[in-house]
Structure 1
């Protein structure tokens, strides 16, 4: 399909490991290991949103002619592409602080209503931009892919719940207990005498503290392990695979191991703005 040619090329670049770089696990946005280099360094896939924009501007928008065929000068003159990538990389480095501000405003406007009604979503995970392109199939139209990938988010969260952390759960319970207690006291005060909430402590009225403690309680409760949870990593992963259509051979039979969990988390990440600064380095 000509309409999907650019998307297909990007999917192919990931499948062939073109976007695999020697990166450490701590690098924000770094995905699963694709191969090992001659020096033993792990080459990890990475495709942040800013990197996707750069590839689109520098390569995909300029490599095709009007008939969607690859232009001859694009192949015969690689220096032009190299210079273009260097210029865009330098520009992205200079624009990184402004991009962070833009992304903060964008994320706030996009998720403000959701966070207001469901504060626990502040710590929720989502598929990374890399994961979305890895899961996408050739010639798959956008709306069908979004339906498939959105249906998998809940099941992906259920898979990660198969690896509970007792320490984090205990800390989250303590924070939830303390903040919930303060919130309950403020609610009782509101029932007894609403005007008391207009009082100020450290320059803030009690309404503000009630909102803060309520938000902290909701977020901390999301980190508490369900005591009646039945652990079945294999079953949880199988449901995820039904939607993502992604199951590497190295994962098969090892769904209950920490290695698979860690690699899975590189694709199912907590939203972060740090990867914006990674692009110029790449």
Structure 2
């Protein structure tokens, strides 16, 4: 089914990593007219925010779910701060652990009130660092509360829009796909002119509005403009792309104060002028400097929050299922690297969910015989001790009161879970090429040098950047407050001029949409990769000669992202009519696929695009023949 609902914002990046749309200070989303009928939407001033909220409202299952989720997040923040403060300042730990001298020889049980300080004593224990932390937390919570209240009123307006303009009640949302909602949006545009610059809105116009900044981020990642790959001595190459780093990048490059965008839909005019490039680069570098220093100053508080939140969120899960941290998930970097241009969140979620099982199998077949032998023997010893302690506890419950017995049992259980994860499944079959091809059928992208090398340890290690252990994700997020400032100061800041040039060279103005990333136009002539085209179509303009994409290494998207994004978009929006060049490309692709079907293995070896398309087993022939 097309629709994949938004997950908790506190979940791993394998789930949803999108924040709900925040109302900006200068946002005026609606132009309200005196008429209270559905004609009140005849001019929406900020269509980006409007369409984003319409999409978010659909994916989050309606008004009540959205409001409850945001309210519970406020309550959760209060709980984490309050409970952490209580544990740090209001518990008499010497008495709890019988280390205060007064209860050392006393065998009587200690009650909870005895180890909790009174309110006056608890408050008196607060030092300056604690008061500073509480003040900062309170200010942050108040700001968040104001945003929640503002978002609630905006979502009330969206609910009214669904009911009056789209004719959809909240109880009906789960029965409609986004494609259905989008069709109704286009009908409302024809009736009411939400966008006054165009008579009709296409599917691509709506996607551009929702994914304007996301497309820029995908393009920057595709062109290796963002500093996320680093070489660490001894360790080698690593990729570091956490939620904190992503937030700072988006704030600097898209929506924050003094960002390159004048508003949600328009890039500042100076960024389009070559003469201003050095001046703008200097200004951007200074902003990155100040943001980096601010991150450095706030790093202790953010680091403390990360520790507390991780402990409260994952301690019970690890205790109940220690093997959870040994499971894998799609990394935050992988979700951006593997994303098509103009691909909504539920669409990429669906692809990655389908790719999860073959990806897990592929990573599981790479085992170390030495580690397996060690794990088997360690698991045997730990299991024996664990069994004895468990049996004694069942025989006499007083055994559990012996000092550190519960800790030993818990530790042994965790050791066994980790060892089991290191022991290969005896039923696994060594077929790396087939498994990686099955993964490619859904993710669609991988570097060219992986071809025919699925068995290599280097490919396995690089794929691990896309499909990482949960424990690796937790460690990265935990240390993100410490690492992020240095990335901003020493790696992003020197790229200020390249970023300014990127905006100037790859921004186009679309009527009725505003400024968008030119890669998101999916223009195969301008941004296509010739190696993905020359054997797929030879005559785009009817001249009778080879006519590959008119571009160079700087302007072309890597790994065939333009071509595959175009095919994916026409598959998810079959009624969309592409421009002439893209339409010719799709027509030639269909004809070539039909003509060479009998020679498919040979063609796949020669052409990267056809190789990727024919490997999309989950979509079958529909991918090749829906592009007419």
Please state which band the TM-score falls in when normalised by the shorter chain: 0.7 to 0.9
After superposition, residues 175-190 of structure 1 pair within 5 angstroms as: 175-190=378-393
**CA displacement, residues 154-208 of structure 1 (integer Å, 9 cap, x when unaligned):** 43222122211011111211221121111100121123222222222xxx2x233
1:67 Cα shift?
Answer: 5.8
The 5 Å alignment of 1:1-282 reads 1-20=208-227, 23-24=230-231, 30-31=238-239, 47-61=241-255, 62-66=259-263, 68-74=265-271, 76=276, 77-200=280-403, 204=404, 206-269=405-468, 270-271=472-473, 272-273=475-476, 274-279=479-484, 280-281=486-487, 282=491
**Match for residue 43 of structure 1?**
none
Q: Which runs of 4+ in 1 moved over 4 A?
A: 25-29
2:189 is matched with: none
Q: What secondary structure, in the 3-state scheme, does the structure 2 residue paired with 1:78 have? A: helix
Tell me the distance in 2 between the aligned counterparts of 1:14 and 1:65: 23
Query: Does structure 2 conserve the Cα–Cα contact (< 8 Å) formed by 1:11 and 1:136?
Result: yes
Are the structure 2 counterparts of residues 21 and 224 from structure 1 closer, same or farther at C-alpha, using a change threshold of 3 Å?
A: closer
Deviations 1:73-97 (A, max 9, x none): 4553332211101111222233333
Which shifted more, 109-118 or 248-257? 109-118
Q: 1:29, CA displacement in angstroms?
A: 8.4
SS in 2 for 1:84: helix
Partner SS state of residue 47, structure 1? coil
Task: Look up the SS of the partner of 2:329 in the other structure.
Answer: strand
Q: Which moved more, 1:269-278 or 1:161-170?
A: 269-278
How far apart are residue 255 of structure 1 and its match? Answer: 0.5
Structure 1 CA distance for aligned equivalents of residues 347 and 314 of structure 2: 23
Match of 1:34 in 2: none
**Which one has a larger percent strand, Structure 1 or Structure 2?**
1
Contact 1:237 1:255 (8 Å CA) reproduced: yes
CA contact (8 A) 2:333 2:465 kept: no
CA shift, 1:21, in A, is 6.8
Measured on the aligned residues, the alpha-carbon RMSD in Å equals 2.5
Q: 1:23 to 1:91 in 2, by over 3 A?
A: same
Aligned counterparts of 2:282 and 2:223: Cα–Cα separation in 1: 22
Query: Which piece of structure 1 moves more, 269-278 or 206-215?
Result: 269-278
Mark the structure with the bigger radius of gyration. 2
- How many pairs were matched up? 264
Rounded Cα–Cα distance in structure 1 between residues aligned with 2:270 and 2:307: 39
Distance 1:226 1:25, change over 3 A: farther
Structure 1: how far apart are the matches of 2:250 and 2:215?
A: 12
State whether residues 65 and 71 of structure 1, in contact with CA within 8 Å, keep that contact through their aligned partners in structure 2: yes
CA distance in 1, matches of 2:316, 2:229: 39
1:152 Cα shift? 3.0
Counterparts of 2:310 and 2:441, CA distance in 1: 29
Name stretches of at least 5 consecutive residues in structure 1 with no aligned partner: 32-45
Once the two structures are TM-superposed, the CA of residue 229 in structure 1 deviates from its matched residue by 1.6
SS in 2 for 1:115: helix
CA distance in 2 between counterparts of 1:258 and 1:25 reads 19
Q: Deviations along 1:25-53, whole A, 9 cap, x unmatched? A: 5579833xxxxxxxxxxxxxx53333211
C-alpha distance 188-67 of structure 1, shift in aligned 2 (>3 A):
closer
Measured in 1, the distance between the counterparts of 2:441 and 2:413 equals 37
Structure with the larger RCO, 1 or 2 (CA within 8 Å, 6+ apart): 1
Per-residue CA deviation, residues 216-251 of structure 1 (Å, 9 max, x unaligned), is 211221111122321111122122222322222211
TM-score by length of 2: 0.39
Unmatched 5+ residue regions in structure 2? 1-207, 492-628
8 Å CA contact 1:29–1:266 kept in 2: the answer is: no
